[in-house]
């Protein structure tokens, strides 16, 4: 039966997912069957006549429900990367079933009694640090999900969790549909003024894909389309149209997320109050490095002053430049990228388009592999035999160079399509850890939306896309190199404000000539990036750093406003957002635009009360890279320490402890400001 291919390990090499051996209609019955087995495993654990111990309770619980994890991992990964209409229809049903299953476990008084019995004797148990962490997280996980509540509050919590499981997928679905609904069709060739040839070729390919035989070009809201369009199009009215379409996603109309935002925020607040917290942010941050909302705000405030001063200077400089360039009207948001690119060229004689011919995607991924090989002694081999879920997806086997032992599987999915949500992310099909009677090595994937190849050119990345590739690759290394015993602690299962360290750390290498020389080569001639061009790239790296920093702070403050100082009965989402971001917004609000309704990170992802973690981790990654630069850039002792104390340890110990073990001290908060030229 096809359903068994979802529930069980496959017969393929490394038990890789056998994509294509099951059908979409198999998901729902597979989830139901897996949940039934998971419930039976929980009953067996509860009915054990032996006294509760770490082995028969905590470790046993770690291995319960593996089939549920297996089915959901495949389903939700494809829901994000290859979401058919059927999967979108199934998502609320499956979310509801699994939310109830989670509630059944979290609110089971008998099960919690066994967990508590082990936790209460923790001081007398001879446990490793990782086992202590698992015990604490298991106990805290039950408490934070309502185990200590009375029955009435437990039922209310169950209702809230079930409803959240329905509305969060709907938020994502609306964004995908709204994104796909917009297309700017250009039929007048003069309207292509300023756009690079590579963009025009790609826009023509999009038109042909839509069946437009006539002379036409398509601009859409996928990043490889709208980002360069705003940067290079000389037609101001068209820039405005595309910018407003993106900034107003789901802010009204058929795919509005306004009511969903209000409902999600309300449900999260109710949930936090039931559990004894003042707000959702307080609940979330209890298990983060930041610990408390006031610590997050203090952190953001410390960055705000230098960032805002620099951002205001950036904007004034750009306004003057735009006026000198002939802009008679006031500089507007849809003008920012256009004139910024021209200003960067004027100041540094550097056009980011100059780099693209040197950055074919195949060379770039090989560069990421090569850097990982040099730093962490692993190698990647392409596998064309294992199945994937789409022809664009590539699969690689990863091995330890020292003994040729298997490290994991790595999947890469680079190009946009109508069934894939926007953005870029890393995910797993199998986590590293001990389960099913043996140590399992991880199967990880990165999913991106890069510029597609055309008939005349390979996929040539912008430098921003290259940074995205290395960022997500950093997450994948965190998953691949994990050496934890327990899967719930392995890989990227760390505090949310620590998870971006390995990803952002990898971006630092891209300003180093020694790294670029290893892979960046012209797709036609094979020549390396000229030294002069690398120097221009390095000099321009601080360009508008204040503006970019303030933009990230803007999102972080908005997130904390929704989750950290909740106001009852928020009727006007627009007014609330405007108030929350007024101190970090350089432009006056544009009617009809809204960030919240497209803010998937916090309303459909895991970043609620956690968007600040990007800046938090920037401090860590800037400080960590300083450690490499203080020594030889590729110093093996430093790289080994980073691998052993950060990448291999996952969430087995507190991140503060792991970082100090690697660095020898606490991170310097000013490392980020130094790197960005803001000190």
How is residue 484 written in tokens? 């934890």
Count Cα neighbours of 239 within 13 Å in the Cβ-side half-sphere: 22
Query: Do residues 602 and 608 lie in contact, with contact meaning Cβ atoms separated by under 8 Å?
Result: yes
Distances (CA, A) of 433 to 377, 379, 408, 483, 501: 21, 21, 12, 7, 21
Please identify which residue in the block is written with the tokens 């770490």. Answer: 54
Please report the sign of the dihedral spanned by the C-alpha atoms of residue 652, residue 653, residue 656, residue 657: negative
Q: Please state, as a whole number, how many other Cβ atoms lie within 10 Å of the Cβ of residue 601.
A: 16
Residue 256: name the closest of 363, 191, 355, 181 by CA. 181
Q: Which residues contact residue 227 at a Cβ distance below 8 angstroms, ignoring those fewer than 6 apart?
A: 337, 462, 464
Is residue 379 within a helix (H) or strand (E), and if so which, with residue range? strand 378-382
Residues in a beta bridge with 426: 446
How is residue 189 written in tokens? 């060739």
- Quote the CA–CA distance of 299 and 316 in Å, as a whole number: 26
Residues in a beta bridge with 218: 185
- Quote the CA–CA distance of 252 and 263 in Å, as a whole number: 15
Query: Do residues 503 and 646 lie in contact, with contact meaning Cβ atoms separated by under 8 Å?
Result: no
Q: DSSP class of residue 588? A: P
How is residue 549 written in tokens? 């920093």
Please report the sign of the dihedral spanned by the C-alpha atoms of residue 489, residue 438, residue 372, residue 447: negative
Query: Do residues 504 and 471 lie in contact, with contact meaning Cβ atoms separated by under 8 Å?
Result: yes
What does 55-96 look like in DSSP terms, one character per residue?
IIIIIHHHTTTHHHHHHHHHHHHHHHHS--HHHHHHHHHHHH
Query: Do residues 165 and 72 lie in contact, with contact meaning Cβ atoms separated by under 8 Å?
Result: no
- Quote the CA–CA distance of 595 and 577 in Å, as a whole number: 8
Query: Do residues 338 and 239 lie in contact, with contact meaning Cβ atoms separated by under 8 Å?
Result: yes
Is 59 an active-site residue?
A: no
Query: Do residues 370 and 345 lie in contact, with contact meaning Cβ atoms separated by under 8 Å?
Result: no
**Beta strand 443-447 pairing with 406-413:** parallel
- Quote the CA–CA distance of 614 and 607 in Å, as a whole number: 10
- Quote the CA–CA distance of 566 and 271 in Å, as a whole number: 13
261-300: b (≥16 Cβ within 10 Å) or e: bbbbbebbbbbbebbebebbbbbbbeebbbeebeebbebb
How is residue 594 written in tokens? 């809204």
Query: Do residues 2 and 26 lie in contact, with contact meaning Cβ atoms separated by under 8 Å?
Result: yes
Question: Among the options 67, 341, 465, 472, which is catalytic?
Answer: 472
Residues tagged active-site? 472
């Amino acid at each position: 039966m096809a359903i068994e291919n979802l529930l069980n390990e496959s017969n393929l090499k490394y038990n890789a997912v056998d994509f294509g051996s099951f059908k979409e209609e198999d998901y729902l019955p597979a989830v139901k069957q897996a949940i039934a087995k998971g419930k039976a495993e929980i009953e067996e654990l509860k009915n054990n006549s032996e006294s509760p111990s770490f082995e028969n309770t905590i470790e046993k619980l770690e291995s319960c429900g593996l089939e549920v994890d297996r089915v959901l991992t495949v389903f939700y990964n494809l829901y994000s990367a290859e979401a058919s209409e059927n999967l979108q229809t199934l998502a609320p049903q499956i979310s509801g079933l699994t939310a109830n299953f989670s509630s059944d476990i979290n609110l089971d008084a008998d099960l919690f009694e066994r967990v508590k019995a082990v936790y209460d004797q923790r001081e007398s148990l001879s446990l490793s640090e990782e086992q202590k962490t698992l015990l604490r997280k298991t106990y805290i996980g039950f408490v934070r999900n309502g185990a200590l509540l009375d029955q009435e509050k437990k039922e209310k919590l169950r209702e809230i969790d079930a409803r959240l499981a329905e509305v969060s997928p709907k938020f994502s679905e609306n964004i995908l549909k709204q994104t796909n609904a917009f297309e700017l069709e250009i039929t007048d060739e003069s309207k292509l003024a300023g756009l690079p040839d590579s963009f025009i070729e790609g826009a023509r390919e999009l038109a042909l894909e839509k069946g437009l035989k006539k002379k036409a070009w398509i601009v859409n809201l996928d990043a490889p389309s709208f980002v360069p369009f705003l940067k290079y199009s000389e037609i101001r009215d068209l820039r405005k149209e595309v910018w407003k379409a993106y900034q107003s996603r789901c802010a009204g109309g058929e795919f509005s997320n306004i009511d969903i935002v209000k409902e999600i925020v309300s449900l999260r607040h109710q949930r936090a109050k039931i559990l004894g917290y003042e707000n959702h942010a307080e609940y979330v941050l209890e298990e983060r490095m930041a610990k408390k909302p006031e610590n997050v705000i203090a952190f953001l405030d410390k960055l705000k002053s230098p960032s805002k001063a620099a951002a205001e200077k950036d904007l004034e400089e750009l306004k003057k430049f735009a006026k000198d360039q002939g802009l008679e009207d006031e500089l507007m948001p849809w003008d920012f990228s256009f004139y910024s690119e021209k200003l960067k060229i004027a100041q540094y004689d550097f056009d980011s388009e100059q780099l693209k011919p040197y950055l074919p995607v195949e060379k770039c991924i090989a560069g990421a592999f090569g850097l990982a090989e040099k730093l962490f002694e692993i190698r990647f081999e392409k596998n064309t035999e294992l199945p994937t879920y789409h022809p664009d997806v590539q699969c690689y086997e990863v091995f330890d160079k020292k003994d040729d032992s298997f490290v994991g599987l790595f999947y890469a999915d680079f190009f946009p399509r109508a069934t894939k949500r926007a953005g870029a992310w890393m995910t797993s099909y199998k986590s590293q850890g001990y389960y099913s009677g043996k140590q399992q090595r991880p199967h990880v994937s990165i999913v991106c939306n890069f510029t597609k190849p055309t008939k005349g050119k390979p996929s040539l990345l912008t430098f921003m896309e290259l940074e995205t590739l290395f960022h997500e690759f950093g997450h994948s290394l965190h998953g691949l190199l994990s050496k934890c015993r327990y899967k719930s602690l392995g890989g990227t299962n760390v505090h949310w404000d620590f998870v971006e360290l390995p990803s952002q750390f990898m971006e630092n290498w891209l300003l180093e000539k020694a790294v670029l020389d290893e892979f960046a080569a012209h797709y036609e001639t094979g020549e390396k990036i000229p030294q002069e061009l690398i120097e221009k790239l390095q000099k321009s790296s601080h360009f508008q750093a204040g503006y970019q920093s303030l933009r990230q702070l803007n999102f972080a403050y908005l997130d904390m406003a929704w989750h950290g100082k909740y106001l009852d009965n928020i009727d006007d989402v627009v007014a609330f957002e405007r108030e929350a971001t007024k101190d970090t917004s350089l432009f006056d609000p544009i009617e009809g635009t809204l960030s919240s309704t497209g803010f998937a990170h916090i309303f459909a992802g895991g970043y609620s009360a956690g968007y600040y973690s990007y800046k938090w981790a920037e401090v860590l990654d800037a400080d960590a890279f300083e450690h490499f630069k203080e020594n030889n850039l590729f110093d093996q002792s430093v790289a080994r320490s980073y691998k052993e104390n950060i990448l291999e340890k996952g969430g087995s110990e507190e991140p503060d402890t792991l970082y100090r073990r690697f660095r020898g001290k606490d991170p310097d908060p000013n490392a980020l400001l130094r790197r960005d030229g803001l000190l």
